Structure 1
Amino acid sequence: MIEFVVIGLVVLFASCMQGSIGFGLGMIASPLLVIVRPDLVPATIILLAINISIAAFLRERRLVDWSVVLWASIGRIPGIVAATIAVATFSHTGLSLTLATAVLIGVAFTLVGWKPAPSRPNMMIAGAASGLFGTSTGIGGPPIALIMRSADGSTARATISAYFVVGSVLSLTGLAVGGQLSLTHLLYAAGWAPFMVVGILLSGFVIKRASTPVLQALAAGISVLGALIVIGQALLG
């Protein structure tokens, strides 16, 4: 029970970050989950994330850039195929190191000043990277966030959320086909859903009162710490 509640509180905080800056649930919660309950990664994180994305999308749906959603979703498909194979074949150590790598790459994306043009090729490449890492580890936000960096904050949040509604459905379908989605994942996701709801509700207040760069820096710092712990645990284990 203590383990369940601790993970739930991490989900609450990570959900608040996700609702505030458009990503963060996977980068913050997945490292802890892969250490404590690796059997729940990535499906449980994706099941939680899709609900956050739906809530964020409904809140700002009029600001969505649908061209980004379309082309990034098309690009996501080959990434999902590769990730489904990886999840089915990787050892625990391999999955842990892949997840930690995804976190560190994601943090790097949030810190660099590069703003790639949201062209169709770039959107499809970002979608492929998002599909690969998002389906294998639950961390697919940073590539899309990078593409949306030049957009207004509200437009970026709305577009990323809309993309993840579509992308999460595609990823869960791929995992189900690959035999990596079970009733256990659904039950744990349902159990942590109340924590997620509280986090989403808090994000509405956080958006109005906190600076986006500060929130991004906070999420990045916690994510790096989690990734380093995962790497240490994987190597020592």
Structure 2
Amino acid sequence: MIADVPLWTVALIAVVVALGCFVQATIGLGLGLLGAPLIALVEPSLVPTLLLLLAVPVSTGVLWVERHHISWRVIGWALPARIPGTVLGVWLATAFDERVLGIVVAVMVLVAVGLTLHTVEVRQTPATLMGAGLAAGTAGTAAAIGGPPMALVMAHRPPREVRGTLSLFFVVGSVLSVLLFWYEDALPRASVTLALAYLPLVAVAMWAGHRAHQRIPREAFRRAVLLLCAASALVLLVKSLLG
């Protein structure tokens, strides 16, 4: 066992983390959408904290590459709005038992998949950016799925601007979420231990994803990943509803 987590569970989560990081590097999403429902199925106590911890190095790597392409206007409106969303997300994650949290995670994944598959045009106004920041803070903290609300308001921006802006948003937001979980004494030791143990795996998976980026049919791969996320969420939802 590692940090009271059985070795078979550690190995299974390692596969999920590697796949999530590979997909994240390839199409720009996947770690939270794929990881949250699958990890919740085998070890609910690690959701969302393990994924929030892993999001910091993953997003930092992208941020370093795209650091000159950040939209400070988006950050200026969305990031402050994430703070109350983060507080609400911590409350959601700590106020309910694992069964209810499983339902919350599953529903959030299904909504996120729907938003990602059927992107609508949302104008970037202070109100929409603050709303996206609030929603991303809540969903990102409660279930580690904060990407879709922000992606929605940046859907028609240049790809490098999207990656740079969202990476900064997620680095700061994930650190804030982790600190709040720690303050509430709700940051499991197992999440910290496994996040550190998985760092080399994260680096290799991200490198492989970047290398494969140009070779994989992006849209077909993206839809396949989203369908897998939806299927995982449905299994988690049924499992949680049946208790």
2:56 equivalent to 1:69: no
Give the residue type in structure 2 aligned to 1:127.
Answer: G
Does the 8 Å contact 1:8/1:192 carry over to 2? yes
Structure 1 residue runs of 5 or longer lacking an equivalent are none
Deviation digits for residues 3-31 of structure 1 (CA, Å, limit 9, x no counterpart): 22221111111111222333210110111
Q: Distance in 2 between matches of 1:138 and 1:109?
A: 16
Counterpart in 1 of 2:59? 53
2:189 equivalent to 1:175: no
Q: Distance in 2 between matches of 1:130 and 1:215?
A: 24
Query: In the TM superposition, what is the alpha-carbon distance from 1:152 to its structure 2 partner?
Result: 1.6
Q: Identify if the C-alpha distance between structure 1 residues 145 and 152 changes in structure 2 by more than 3 Å, giving closer, same or farther.
A: same
Counterpart in 2 of 1:162? 168
Counterpart in 2 of 1:231? 237
2:236 equivalent to 1:207: no
Alignment match of 1:110 (pick from 101, 116, 131): 116
Does the 8 Å contact 2:119/2:152 carry over to 1? no
2:227 equivalent to 1:221: yes
- After TM superposition, the runs of 4+ consecutive aligned structure 1 residues lying more than 6 A away are none
Percent identity, please.
Answer: 32
Structure 2 residue runs of 5 or longer lacking an equivalent are 1-6
Give the residue type in structure 2 aligned to 1:216.
Answer: R
Query: In the TM superposition, what is the alpha-carbon distance from 1:64 to its structure 2 partner?
Result: 1.6
Counterpart in 2 of 1:95? 101
Counterpart in 2 of 1:197? 203
Q: Distance in 2 between matches of 1:225 and 1:34?
A: 13
Q: Distance in 1 between matches of 2:111 and 2:204?
A: 28
Does the 8 Å contact 1:172/1:181 carry over to 2? yes
Does the 8 Å contact 2:9/2:43 carry over to 1? no
Query: In the TM superposition, what is the alpha-carbon distance from 1:191 to its structure 2 partner?
Result: 1.8
Deviation digits for residues 95-140 of structure 1 (CA, Å, limit 9, x no counterpart): 0010001101110111113020122211110111111111011111
Number of paired residues?
Answer: 237
Query: In the TM superposition, what is the alpha-carbon distance from 1:45 to its structure 2 partner?
Result: 0.6
Deviation digits for residues 30-57 of structure 1 (CA, Å, limit 9, x no counterpart): 1111111111111111000111000011
Does the 8 Å contact 1:44/1:185 carry over to 2? yes
TM-score, structure 1 as length reference: 0.95
Alignment match of 1:139 (pick from 132, 139, 145): 145
Comparing 165-174 with 202-211, greater Cα deviation is found at 202-211
Q: Distance in 2 between matches of 1:49 and 1:214?
A: 25
Does the 8 Å contact 2:106/2:234 carry over to 1? yes
